[in-house]
Amino acid sequence: MSEQMLYRALSRAVLFRLGGGDPERAHHLTMAALARIGRVAPARRTLARLLDTPAPRRVFGLDFPSPVGLAAGMDKNAVAVQAWPALGFGFVEVGTVTAHAQHGNPQPRLFRLRTSEAIVNRMGFNNEGAAALATTLAAAGPVGVPIGVSLGKSKITPVAEAVEDYLTSLRLVHPYADYLAINVSSPNTPGLRSLQDRAPLDELLGAMTAEAAALAPSRPDGRPVPVLVKIAPDLTDHAVAEVLEVCQDRGVAGVIATNTTLDRSGVSTTELGMAAEVGGLSGRPLRRRALGVVRFVTSHSDLPVIGVGGISDVDAALAMLDAGASLLQLYTGFIFGGPGLVRDINRAVAARDAGEN
């Protein structure tokens, strides 16, 4: 039995039973364990020797030791930020964080679809707030890989006042972020996806890139922090094309494609009841649409793309890179596949890089 197959078997037997079978409680217990590992340097070094496989990339002016990153949503408050590189991740995106601390939506709000290797969530940007995240990242110091920070809109902030809400978060976290991801595509905050429309998106991105430029002299390298935009898989091609035009006009550094979906295509018939829960779907059923969006983005713009959605095995990862993605992110795939999946993807990419040289 391979290491990844062993992890899958053990995760279903043990990890998924943490917290009495409550997925959210199991998540918090796992984060607490990883936070403890992250504070112990010998433990980090041991894991890194087992799991680290360099496959370096340079994208939007940053050096990534490998192309596989942790997607936002896993470590919202950066509690385990020091542990993720030891598990083989070449970059880590924390958040989504908001200007105001918030509890998120009522529980239960996280549902595992084991047969489909998918998750439905309606978390609602539960986080401790941008100021708390800045304090945590400052205390952590450099972790050896780029750190992205995903920014969202506070629920209590009206959509008409979203720009200042995002700017508040940017000002707080930019000293500790290697890039910023503007999340306007979560389905779990009322009105948020309307910010993907041309006019509000243009206003938001214009303000964010201008503020990043104004703050550049305070950063060690004197350069503006790269600003990326995370888009929904449920946009039409026309809507994606409009987003890309705005991104290019406003000097955005890249695109993250995609967020979770409201579509339930590809879910096992045995899990349609749970899949009907309100929220965004991530995991294997999203693979085809996420791949299609990445192909569209890379064929209609020169913007670098972080591909995310349905990457549950090596073949899916390589297909995403073949579609034009410069980097990858895992969330649900990591939950079901574990650190072995990160290592296997990095090894496959490194082997292919060696073959091309």
> Letter for the amino acid at 174?
H
Quick check: bond before 258 cis, omega within 30? yes
183 is in an annotated binding site: yes
d(CA 289, CA 310): 9
**3-state helix/strand/coil string of 131-179:** HHHHHHHHHHCCCCCCEEEEECCCCCCCHHHHHHHHHHHHHHHHHHCCE
Provide the pLDDT for residue 123: 96
Collapsing DSSP states into helix, strand and coil, what is residue 181?
strand
121 is in an annotated binding site: yes
Provide the pLDDT for residue 1: 44
Burial (CB count within 10 angstroms: exposed 0-12, middle 13-18, buried 19+), residue 37: middle
Helix axes 41-51, 339-356, angle to 10 degrees: 50
| Interior/surface letters 75-98, b for 16+ CB within 10 angstroms, e for the rest | bbbbbbbbbbbbbbbbbbbbbbbb
d(CA 123, CA 155): 12
d(CA 316, CA 14): 26
Provide the pLDDT for residue 7: 45
Q: Is 186 a catalytic residue?
A: yes
d(CA 242, CA 276): 30
Tokens representing 302 are 């020169």
Contact by Cβ (8 Å): 238, 200: no
Provide the pLDDT for residue 20: 56
Residue 127 pairs with which residues in a beta bridge?
A: 102
| Mean pLDDT split into 10-residue runs, the chain, 357 residues | 48 54 87 90 88 91 97 96 95 98 96 95 97 97 96 95 97 98 90 90 97 96 96 94 96 97 95 94 97 98 97 97 98 92 95 84
122 is in an annotated binding site: yes
Contact by Cβ (8 Å): 351, 66: no
Catalytic choice (116, 154, 169, 186): 186
155 is in an annotated binding site: no
153 is in an annotated binding site: no
208 is in an annotated binding site: no
296 is in an annotated binding site: no
**3-state helix/strand/coil string of 14-44:** CHHHHHHHCHHHHHHHHHHHHHHHHCCHHHH
Residue 227 pairs with which residues in a beta bridge?
A: 180
User: 318: domain range?
Assistant: 3-356
d(CA 212, CA 232): 24
Residue 68 pairs with which residues in a beta bridge?
A: 328
Residue at token pair 């999946």: 341
310 is in an annotated binding site: yes
What predicted TM-score, i.e. pTM, was given to this entire model?
0.94
Number of domains in the chain: 1
Which CATH number goes with the domain that contains 183? 3.20.20.70
Sign of torsion over alpha carbons 135, 220, 305, 355: negative
89 is in an annotated binding site: no
74 is in an annotated binding site: yes
